[in-house]
Amino acid sequence: MKHYKLVLPEHMNHQQSLFGGNLLSWIDEVAYMTANLQFPNHRFVTVALDNVEFKHRIDCGEIICFCATLEKQGSTSLTYFISVSGTRKNAEMILFETRITFVSVDEQGLKKSIC
Amino acid sequence: MKHYKLVLPEHMNHQQSLFGGNLLSWIDEVAYMTANLQFPNHRFVTVALDNVEFKHRIDCGEIICFCATLEKQGSTSLTYFISVSGTRKNAEMILFETRITFVSVDEQGLKKSIC
Amino acid sequence: MKHYKLVLPEHMNHQQSLFGGNLLSWIDEVAYMTANLQFPNHRFVTVALDNVEFKHRIDCGEIICFCATLEKQGSTSLTYFISVSGTRKNAEMILFETRITFVSVDEQGLKKSIC
Amino acid sequence: MKHYKLVLPEHMNHQQSLFGGNLLSWIDEVAYMTANLQFPNHRFVTVALDNVEFKHRIDCGEIICFCATLEKQGSTSLTYFISVSGTRKNAEMILFETRITFVSVDEQGLKKSIC
Amino acid sequence: MKHYKLVLPEHMNHQQSLFGGNLLSWIDEVAYMTANLQFPNHRFVTVALDNVEFKHRIDCGEIICFCATLEKQGSTSLTYFISVSGTRKNAEMILFETRITFVSVDEQGLKKSIC
Amino acid sequence: MKHYKLVLPEHMNHQQSLFGGNLLSWIDEVAYMTANLQFPNHRFVTVALDNVEFKHRIDCGEIICFCATLEKQGSTSLTYFISVSGTRKNAEMILFETRITFVSVDEQGLKKSIC
């Protein structure tokens, strides 16, 4: 499932590139939406984010694409592979990739099977 | 170097716990401040965040402490160990730990020695 | 092209439903992203939003889907039909529909052909 | 009733003009405040926004004036005419005009008479 | 000159009342707008805020009125008296009062006469 | 107790300096955190901010240090002296100083002893 984010001035750091913290925040948000759309009627909480390597500077006005693919489905957990890409010289380019894991919980916060 | 964040309603998800994306964003911000305070007159960009495991739910109104310690200083990079703690039953408790790496760059974005 | 938005506490009004202003803001953002992804290398500015009727209350935690379809391409303008849907009783339901129009401009803000 | 908004950097798009989504959001907010100040002790929800035409670019640092005038009062609804103006060459100029409609609801969301 | 602010969930602290920091921020914003509307073509910077006493809790959903009155006009400075009021039991009530002072500066930040 | 804030583009006014309202908001936030960390298990509300004089322009990218020192402890109130400093020409410089007072309240908002 693909998600897009528009990089606005409010997301920048003072060096005129995207503040890395916003990028991290968006990974969590788009993966969470994907999990909820694919497994409705569950409560998911983020339990782990794999290591992330930022290799490319991201500028204001760019539209970034987050592609979230279910990589592993456990009895109470979901791991998504997240590929983040942008456009460089009119061609799509992978900016970085990571994984994020959610667990399904009940209203008390205890693990609950995914069905 | 210690930094504190107050968890406000604007930081919550709809399950009444801290939205994980904000936590990730704060790691980047506090480590960036630490690097700039310890190594003034440099331009740092985030290049990597180690994997993160969220083991504890964080509630509205909590004050979270981020302790950033320089773990490794390369010729052009800095790696900080980040320990995030909160208060549970009147005792300080580690919520999670990770590492974050910055590189020093010049105005063109090329790597530059840290002095 | 589909876009998703997660309704968080920061988007709510004090009556515990989505603040309508955020919904209006999202229409502009998702349509703008669609126009830029479909017609790269242009500068688009919003010139018109068709009338909007909000018939359904939107709650915190919902994931809303914005589907933007190019309806009319003029020499310097693009009109997108925007269909906004959510999930009600496990079924997708249209929440409202509208149209939004952009014009392509050059760096001085003068109209410029779309190619 | 007049309301003013100061256009700050956080409201801009990457083309250095006001992000249209913020303008739409402000229409809803100022009209909602007007309705609540003129008809206290009601619960209003936005049900419709008339079409909007953005004819003028708005820059950072501008102060925009929203003038909301009650145009039509139904038994359970209120329609406000919204005239948005700014200053161009030291003279006030209408930037655009639209209408917005609210209905009065009770705690269950059912329509309720305006008194 | 009167200005209104709608207290939304994003402005609250975790004790379900308005975060005082937002209130302080709004004083600066509304007084700044007043100064610019009354003395166009100047650059104003805030130089002083008088002491503030918060005597009343402010809840989510309230509409607060800021009334800014020019109290003293110096050759390069303006002092506004700010009266902040809300509605309690259907009657308008002063919540607190303060003063804020701006100076007029040129592009280099040097003081410049107000005309 | 020291707190740091990174001045980001989202905090600026349109004259490319820190929007004074944000600075006021941060004073409240950092003092509130200090009070809660030094006197846990209390509910504090801000009751007064002493007058503030802004003598120095603050730029984007600066890291500001807020040092909060308990100056007076009453039976139900705490007054903190806040010293705000930045770096100018590689030396730390006081930007301004003020005082902020909190009272301890119970769940009904009535004053409660600090212990």
**E113 assigned to some structural domain:** no
Residue D47 near chain C (CB below 8 Å): yes
Residue F61 near chain A (CB below 8 Å): yes
Residue B21 near chain A (CB below 8 Å): yes
Question: How do residues B71-112 score in pLDDT, each as one tens digit?
Answer: 999 999 999 999 999 988 888 999 999 999 999 999 888 999
Rg (CA), chain D: 15
Contact (Cβ atoms closer than 8 angstroms) between residue C110 and residue C91 = no
A15 CA: distance to closest CA in chain D (Å): 15
Q: Do chains A and E touch (3 or more CB pairs under 8 A)?
A: no
Can you tell me the distance from the alpha carbon of D23 to that of C25, in angstroms, rounded to the nearest whole number?
A: 8
- Beta carbons of E54 and F45 less than 8 Å apart: yes
| Residue in A33, A63, A90 nearest the CB of C63 | A33
And the tokens for B34? 């630490």
Average confidence score pLDDT of chain A: 93
How many CA atoms lie within 13 Å of D12's alpha carbon, on the beta-carbon side?
Answer: 24
Rg (CA), chain E: 15
Q: Is D33 exposed, middle or buried (0-12, 13-18, 19+ CB in 10 A)?
A: buried
- Beta carbons of F10 and D9 less than 8 Å apart: yes
pLDDT of residue E15: 84
Angle at Cα E93 formed by Cα E92 and Cα E98, nearest 5°?
A: 125
Q: Is E93 exposed, middle or buried (0-12, 13-18, 19+ CB in 10 A)?
A: exposed
Can you tell me the distance from the alpha carbon of A33 to that of C4, in angstroms, rounded to the nearest whole number?
A: 8
Can you tell me the distance from the alpha carbon of A88 to that of A101, in angstroms, rounded to the nearest whole number?
A: 29
| Residue in B33, B36, B90 nearest the CB of F40 | B90
Strand partners, A6: A63
Strand partners, B75: none
What residues of A are in contact with residue F60 (Cβ under 8 Å)?
14
What residues of A are in contact with residue D12 (Cβ under 8 Å)?
8-9
What residues of B are in contact with residue F29 (Cβ under 8 Å)?
6
Can you tell me the distance from the alpha carbon of C8 to that of C13, in angstroms, rounded to the nearest whole number?
A: 11
Contact (Cβ atoms closer than 8 angstroms) between residue A101 and residue A81 = no
Residue C22 near chain E (CB below 8 Å): no
| Residue in E3, E29, E40 nearest the CB of D90 | E40
Can you tell me the distance from the alpha carbon of B97 to that of D68, in angstroms, rounded to the nearest whole number?
A: 52
pLDDT of residue F114: 96
- Beta carbons of A10 and D13 less than 8 Å apart: no
Rg (CA), chain C: 15
| Cβ-based neighbours of E80, under 8 Å, separated by 6 or more | E31, E34, E35, E68, E69, E70, E71, E99, E100, E101, E102
| Residue in B25, B32, B53 nearest the CB of A24 | B25
pLDDT of residue A10: 87
| Residue in A4, A6, A33 nearest the CB of C6 | A33
Residue C63 near chain B (CB below 8 Å): no
And the tokens for D25? 């959001």
**C113 assigned to some structural domain:** no
**D113 assigned to some structural domain:** no
Confidence band for D7, pLDDT divided at 50, 70 and 90: very high
Secondary structure in 3-state letters for chain C: CEEEEECCHHHECCCCCECHHHHHHHHHHHHHHHHHHHCCCCEEEEEEECCEECCCCCCCCCEEEEEEEEEEECCCEEEEEEEEEEEECCEEEEEEEEEEEEEEECCCCCECCCC
Is the four-CA dihedral B91, B95, B97, B101 of positive or negative sign? negative
D103 CA: distance to closest CA in chain E (Å): 17
What residues of F are in contact with residue B32 (Cβ under 8 Å)?
6
**Selected residue of D10, D14, D18 to mutate for chain A interface (largest A Cβ count, 10 A):** D14
Confidence band for D93, pLDDT divided at 50, 70 and 90: very high
Q: Do chains A and B touch (3 or more CB pairs under 8 A)?
A: yes
- Beta carbons of F49 and E45 less than 8 Å apart: no
Residue C41 near chain A (CB below 8 Å): yes
DSSP annotation of A53 reads E
Can you tell me the distance from the alpha carbon of C62 to that of D71, in angstroms, rounded to the nearest whole number?
A: 34
Check pLDDT > 90 for residue C68: yes
Can you tell me the distance from the alpha carbon of F20 to that of A9, in angstroms, rounded to the nearest whole number?
A: 19
Closest residue, chain F, to A10 (C-alpha): F10
And the tokens for F93? 């410089």
Can you tell me the distance from the alpha carbon of A43 to that of D50, in angstroms, rounded to the nearest whole number?
A: 38
Contact (Cβ atoms closer than 8 angstroms) between residue C104 and residue C42 = yes
DSSP annotation of B108 reads T
Residue D47 near chain F (CB below 8 Å): no
Average confidence score pLDDT of chain C: 93
- The structure's pTM equals 0.89
User: What are the two backbone dihedrals, phi and then psi, of residue C66, each rounded to the nearest 5 degrees?
Assistant: -110, 120
ipTM of the complex: 0.90
Residue B8 near chain E (CB below 8 Å): yes
For residue A37, the SS3 value is: helix
Query: Which strands, in side-by-side order, build the sheet including F43-49?
Result: E52-53, F43-49, F91-105, F77-88, F63-73, F2-6
And the tokens for A64? 């970034």
pLDDT of residue E80: 98
Name the domain count of chain D. Answer: 1
What residues of A are in contact with residue F8 (Cβ under 8 Å)?
12-14, 19
| Residue in F32, F40, F63 nearest the CB of B33 | F63
DSSP annotation of B11 reads G
E102 CA: distance to closest CA in chain B (Å): 31
Residue E10 near chain B (CB below 8 Å): yes
H-type alpha helices, chain D: 20-38
Which of C22, C73, C29, C40 minimizes the C-alpha distance to A3? Answer: C29
And the tokens for C65? 């889907």
- Beta carbons of F61 and A14 less than 8 Å apart: yes
The range of the structural domain enclosing residue A27 comes to 2-105
Strand partners, E64: E5
Q: Could you tell me which chains touch chain A, where touching means 3 or more CB pairs under 8 A?
A: B, C, D, F
**Selected residue of F11, F17, F60, F64 to mutate for chain A interface (largest A Cβ count, 10 A):** F60
Which stretches of chain E drop beneath a pLDDT of 50? none
CB atoms within 10 A of CB E85: 17
Residue C97 near chain D (CB below 8 Å): no
| Residue in E28, E45, E54 nearest the CB of F21 | E28
Least confident of B12-16, C91-95, D52-56: B12-16
**B19 assigned to some structural domain:** yes
Closest residue, chain F, to A14 (C-alpha): F61
Which of B12, D36, D23, D79 minimizes the C-alpha distance to E6? Answer: D36
And the tokens for D43? 């619960």
Question: How do residues A12-62 score in pLDDT, each as one tens digit?
Answer: 888 888 998 899 999 999 999 999 999 999 999 999 999 999 989 999 999
Can you tell me the distance from the alpha carbon of E28 to that of E45, in angstroms, rounded to the nearest whole number?
A: 10
**E57 assigned to some structural domain:** yes
What residues of F are in contact with residue A19 (Cβ under 8 Å)?
8
Can you tell me the distance from the alpha carbon of E27 to that of E20, in angstroms, rounded to the nearest whole number?
A: 11
Query: Which strands, in side-by-side order, build the sheet including E2-6?
Result: E2-6, E63-73, E77-88, E91-105, E43-49, F52-53
Residue B9 near chain E (CB below 8 Å): yes
Which of B96, B110, F63, C42 minimizes the C-alpha distance to A47? Answer: B96
Question: How do residues D9-19 score in pLDDT, each as one tens digit?
Answer: 889 888 888 98
What residues of E are in contact with residue F17 (Cβ under 8 Å)?
45
Check which CATH number belongs to the domain holding E62 and give it.
Answer: 3.10.129.10
Which stretches of chain F drop beneath a pLDDT of 70? none
Closest residue, chain A, to D16 (C-alpha): A9
Residue A53 near chain F (CB below 8 Å): no
pLDDT of residue C88: 86
Provide the b/e sequence for E57-82 (b: ≥16 CB within 10 Å): ebebebbbbbbbeeeeeeeebbbbbb
pLDDT of residue F90: 82
Residue C61 near chain E (CB below 8 Å): no
Can you tell me the distance from the alpha carbon of D23 to that of C23, in angstroms, rounded to the nearest whole number?
A: 12
pLDDT of residue E100: 97
Provide the b/e sequence for A61-99 (b: ≥16 CB within 10 Å): ebbbbbbbeeeeeeeebbbbbbebbbbeeeeeeebbebb
Residue D51 near chain E (CB below 8 Å): no
Check pLDDT > 90 for residue A63: yes
**D17 assigned to some structural domain:** yes
**C18 assigned to some structural domain:** yes
Can you tell me the distance from the alpha carbon of D23 to that of C24, in angstroms, rounded to the nearest whole number?
A: 9
Q: Do chains C and F touch (3 or more CB pairs under 8 A)?
A: no
Can you tell me the distance from the alpha carbon of B37 to that of B16, in angstroms, rounded to the nearest whole number?
A: 34
**C26 assigned to some structural domain:** yes
DSSP annotation of D18 reads B
Closest residue, chain B, to C60 (C-alpha): B14
Check pLDDT > 90 for residue D63: yes
Which of F58, F62, F68, F59 minimizes the C-alpha distance to F97? Answer: F68
For residue D21, the SS3 value is: helix
